[in-house]
Structure 1
């Protein structure tokens, strides 16, 4: 017999239904659809002791957050999954922060992608 295009193993005991047929018995314990085989087929990242789907979430400050999560950086808003808030080290007290692309060194030379933010 085929179940979803895959041949089922022979039933070792006549009269007992196979679990793939929707009936379970003590000989055939239920199989969880979230078993390790399913996890290995999907792209997941780890954040602390949690796994997450990087297509929907990111790890920020040791917490799993949605990709659209934002935070304040001075008077700017930055996207925590894609940007970072860095201190502005130039003698300009009115411009005390800069938003840089995540992964860039906060202390690297300014680039065209940077956004300078006031207090």
Structure 2
């Protein structure tokens, strides 16, 4: 995020707070009550934003994680596209053999008497 973006967001938050205060004044609240309620809405909005941020952090749904996953997927797709048909067939055979070996190594479920 650039510095001008941060300045714009700060100005926007300030403007929304002022408009909220003026709106509450127009609705008939006195100055202290309008100030308190505009602060309540502002703090509630910040807590909501922090909650969504923490949710994204816990779910690993951040921009960096998405970019890293997209990059890894693009690299693997590029490598797959560069393989010859013979190499693709060889890779598929190796994967099928590996999957078959993994299935045979898995422990069987005991049967109950």
TM range (shorter): under 0.3
TM-score with structure 2 setting the length? 0.26
Between structures 1 and 2, the one with greater strand share: 1
More helix by share: 2
